[in-house]
Structure 1
């Protein structure tokens, strides 16, 4: 007579399947990103992704209803990864200023600063004005990035004894996001022009000018910087 399964064995198998399916889906997203980076969006077909991932077309359709859904997930992952990498770099910081400074630096150095990521971003961004779902994913990523900034800015301003209203933090977040976007583009396109951490240093200097406080010192910021910030 067969022995009954130990208690919880079915639950364990279900959890294992969920993990296995998650890994398989991530592998397919990686294959999609490889296709887009090397050949562009049009070349990222179900057939091409299947070949790269070493699976059948049918298996891909088990995870994604169509090519567009693969592209949507790939874009979402691209946006999320950059935020997660910068957040992780700043997670061990000892003070609010250190956290904000490291977050900015992480966005302007490798691996976030990377020509492949720029290629992917440029490919996806070209669809935003013609695809409502792509526009929603972009908006979701942008707002998530701004929320990261807003939380850190609130901590920094409070530590400095400054006003830290949600509206003020939001305005600062939009400004800093725009600065980083511009520098990130320049750094990816012309990395040979920026030696070492030069680009990150420029980003920190720009952020300090906007905020009117130093992110590299614990001293009270000079009045000159506060005047630049308009407070």
Structure 2
């Protein structure tokens, strides 16, 4: 994918990952790679037992709105060795925390970061607005690359513009060690959005829902 100058400026001071990181896991201990990343950055980590059903997990994630939550599946459901952390980015600076969390994870795993922006196929090839949607997507990805370069200059970044609905990104075909996306916002009633629901229920890898600003 060609790189172009972006009209979106990255944050001048990239935010540090939210404190603490909440880990929702079936195991009674924090995964080794998570513990290592938190030790390296002096980040606090809190273990939250994972509820049994997907619906209960979503309720727990919603109740933790405003915090970064890593959802880890059953034993053996750790990073799969793909060497890639996927960061789903819809807009900046709203999703700046997604990129910061992706850099946090990728640095520990020695992985590349793939910022992904989705333009739905409902925009047909002749649809009014398709050109603007694609241009906006490239701008978001250019700004994502710039922020990651500021957050962690040593990371390899491979931006991707996909023609899918955002919630379709998180199916079994997802090739990632960890998927990072924006978590629920503070609202009443608390709820997890469509993409977050799909990720928690269907992603074949750990999912990190990054804290969003209030």
Name the TM-score, length of structure 2 as normaliser.
0.25
Which protein, 1 or 2, shows the higher relative CO under an 8 Å CA cutoff with sep ≥ 6?
2
Whichever structure has more strand as a proportion of its residues is 2
> TM-score scaled by structure 1?
0.23
Which structure has the larger Rg over C-alpha atoms?
Answer: 1
